[in-house]
Structure 1
Amino acid sequence: MAEALATEQFRRLPKVLLHDHLDGGVRPATVLELAREQGYAALPADDVASLSRWFAASADSGSLVRYLETFTHTVGVMQTAEALRRTARECVLDLAADGVVYAEVRYAPEQHLEGGLGLDEVVAAVNAGFREGEEVVAGGDADAPAGPIRVRAMLTAMRHAARSREIAELAVRHRAEEVCGFDIAGAEDGFPPTRHLGAFEFLRQANAHFTIHAGEAFGLPSIWEAIQWCGAERLGHGIRIVDDIRLDGSPVTDDLAGAIARAQEDPGAFALGDLAAYVRDRRIPLEMCPSSNVQTGAAPSIAEHAIRLLDALRFRVTLNTDNRLMSATSMTREAELLVDQAGWGVPELRRVSVNAMKSAFLPFDERLAIIEDVLKPAYDG
């Protein structure tokens, strides 16, 4: 597979992206330009190459807390309507150039108020940028190897703050404008999803969609609360669900490489705990982000990332970027890494793409159309 497909061929495959942070994918050149325009003087470097290296090195620390610190600078220059509009527009163009045909891009409106914007103004600015980017791609004025792109917004509340109900109401208020759902993000340890039950109850009553960051830096209790208390439709990351899987009586985490190899030959040999079985049986999507997980210490390597085991055991696995700037990655790169280092091929890439489209916060008929008219012809042709 690695020899059969070159980077350009990977890039041309249509991709579906469910877990991508707007403030984690800003172009380094844009960060520098916005900082100069706004008088933001806290950047750690003053040229594109050095700033790019700084972001990647700072994020590559093995600590989720330090990883999250890198957002200080991107968020710091995203405090005006024009900055938000620009970063959103460029996000669409960058994803389209990477072969993404559908994306849900998330951001936290509460983090973009320092310049005097209100929450609704933040949403309006980001939405305008997304629409502009889509129009450029549809008009043929941008490189989009897999075709037109559709990008929807997901509004995130910070789990350490106390504005989740307000952000949930904001998401519902703007859902007719391509705001597809709600999320909570930030450090998991010490900030369980149950702190935000009021927001999730409101969303369910409003027939609104939501996902929850869970099972990345904290284990099974975080996943259990997200699903059984909060009612999450999807799990952001969810990698720690492997803690509830055993092989020959031992946790698979004792020998993840051995478990991955065994799963390719004998997936029936694994025993799933009650929570893992529930997640698989209910087809709860896992928004997995391999490079990001390696950086934060949630996975030892790409070769031993739990995505391989969970895919072999037929969990509903999806492939995502998380933060393209911090991880110096793209959907093309994530696919290449799994092919080169984890033995994946076209069948696995097809499966995660279809899984993602099945799991998107998009009406059923529109999901089905993309699966049948875009994904399957490209992967099966």
Structure 2
Amino acid sequence: MDHELFPTPAGVQADDPILQLPKVSLHDHLDGGLRPATIVELAAEVNHTLPTTDPEELRTWFSAAANSGDLVRYLTTFDHTIAVMQTAPALERVAREWVLDQVADGVFYAEARWAPEQHLTAGLTLDEAVEAVQRGLEDGMAIAANEGRTILTGQIITAMRHADRSSEIAELALRHRDSGVVGFDIAGAEKGFPATNHKEAFDALHLASFPVTIHAGEAEGVQSILEAVQVCHAERIGHGVRIVEDMDVVDGRGELGRLAAWVLDRQIPLEVCPSSNLQTGAADTIEDHPITGLKALGYAVTVNPDNRLMSATSVSREMRLLVDRAGWDQADLEWATVNAISNAFLPLDERERLIDEVVIPGFARISL
């Protein structure tokens, strides 16, 4: 592998067999996955002041700043990444490198979620921003293909919870649904900004038969998940780990509340991001992270990095942590991967093909 094109992802050794496992990344923010050296170069172009211009020191700064245990403070780290993603060339570069970093992580399908409304200060229109990211994603896929690696990507267009542009952003997503945009989300501070504030946008997307995932159950609890699922038509839940507040589990056996049972019985996928949850206070340790108990109860959990830069992580690292510290084995990792691709925002026949042609044989070739 060309390590300049495909650098070893954060948190794993280059010879770790987990790197070779086929993976899916459903919850992976574009503006949370920049390479530090890229941030330094792009910041110089736009005269944006960084905490440091040394790439390795900057990498350390992002990780340390994100380890506050508070979601709002965690989100302030994005001030620097978003600042350098305001032009079409910058968006193209970030998206291209995002794809190559996915390939290095063994990811064969990834959804890049990002909020175009945050990338307009240099004069781009919403549509121009989406088109620039799509060009970058396609460039990355083409480079990977030239190196004998295959990856599929899609954009999840995100509206900000604290803003009032969600209907406009929903229309943007629908305009690009046949040119790379596969889903819609809302993100940002969860407390005080319920998903129901954006019901008009979600109703329009529902009527247009367009896929929706919603950040819920991270900084807020069961009510946030309830509103996302039952009012706003979410097909997947971003994070969702606080669903455990609607159950009483003893020795692996659970008495489930109405919502917890609904989410389980309908296998509504949970896009779980273990390391990120520790940083934002949604969990205390990997050992007692809710993902393992939810897996045992049969929830459709998936394993994701959330923000690769801020959490100094990758899908491979998240999997390695679960194996080393939470008792997961290869069968568990395969099960979570099948959950992920089964619920990707792709046509059914494509999802089934990827399970049969990529996931099952890929896991069969590796022994941890």
Asked if TM exceeds 0.5, the reply is: yes
| Stretches (4+) displaced over 2 A | 5-8
Q: Give the Cα–Cα distance (whole angstroms) in 2 for the partners of residues 214 and 149 of structure 1.
A: 28
Aligned counterpart, 1:180: 182
Aligned counterpart, 2:153: 151
> 1:7: how far off?
4.7
Q: Give the Cα–Cα distance (whole angstroms) in 2 for the partners of residues 174 and 217 of structure 1.
A: 30
The counterpart of 1:81, out of the listed 88, 100, 106, is 88
CA-to-aligned-CA distance 1:28-86 (integer Å, 9 cap, x gap): 00000000111112x11110111111100000010000000000000000000000000
Aligned counterpart, 2:256: 272
Aligned counterpart, 1:375: 359
The counterpart of 2:326, out of the listed 342, 345, 356, is 342
Q: Is 1:19 paired with 2:27?
A: yes
The 5 Å alignment of 1:250-265 reads 259=250, 262-263=251-252
> 1:8: how far off?
2.8
Aligned counterpart, 1:121: 128
Give the aligned residue type for 2:168: E
Aligned counterpart, 1:199: 201
SS, match of residue 346 in structure 2: coil
Aligned counterpart, 2:110: 103
Q: Give the Cα–Cα distance (whole angstroms) in 2 for the partners of residues 66 and 40 of structure 1.
A: 20
Consecutive unaligned residues of structure 1, counting only runs of 5 or more, are 142-146, 248-258, 264-268
| Native 8 Å contact 1:194 1:226 kept in 2 | yes
Give the aligned residue type for 2:55: V
Aligned counterpart, 1:252: none
Aligned counterpart, 1:9: 17
Aligned counterpart, 2:238: 236
Q: Is 1:213 paired with 2:215?
A: yes
Aligned counterpart, 1:133: 140
The 5 Å alignment of 1:63-74 reads 63-74=70-81
The counterpart of 1:308, out of the listed 288, 292, 296, is 292
Q: Give the Cα–Cα distance (whole angstroms) in 2 for the partners of residues 210 and 244 of structure 1.
A: 23
CA-to-aligned-CA distance 1:191-235 (integer Å, 9 cap, x gap): 000000010011011110010000000000000000111111000
The counterpart of 2:335, out of the listed 331, 342, 351, is 351
| Native 8 Å contact 1:7 1:336 kept in 2 | no
SS, match of residue 178 in structure 2: helix
SS, match of residue 325 in structure 1: coil
Aligned counterpart, 1:44: 51
Q: Give the Cα–Cα distance (whole angstroms) in 1 for the partners of residues 53 and 106 of structure 2.
A: 31
Q: How many residues align?
A: 353
Q: Give the Cα–Cα distance (whole angstroms) in 2 for the partners of residues 172 and 163 of structure 1.
A: 14
> 1:380: how far off?
3.0
Aligned counterpart, 1:333: 317
Q: Give the Cα–Cα distance (whole angstroms) in 2 for the partners of residues 284 and 331 of structure 1.
A: 21
Consecutive unaligned residues of structure 2, counting only runs of 5 or more, are 1-12
Q: Give the Cα–Cα distance (whole angstroms) in 1 for the partners of residues 16 and 77 of structure 2.
A: 30
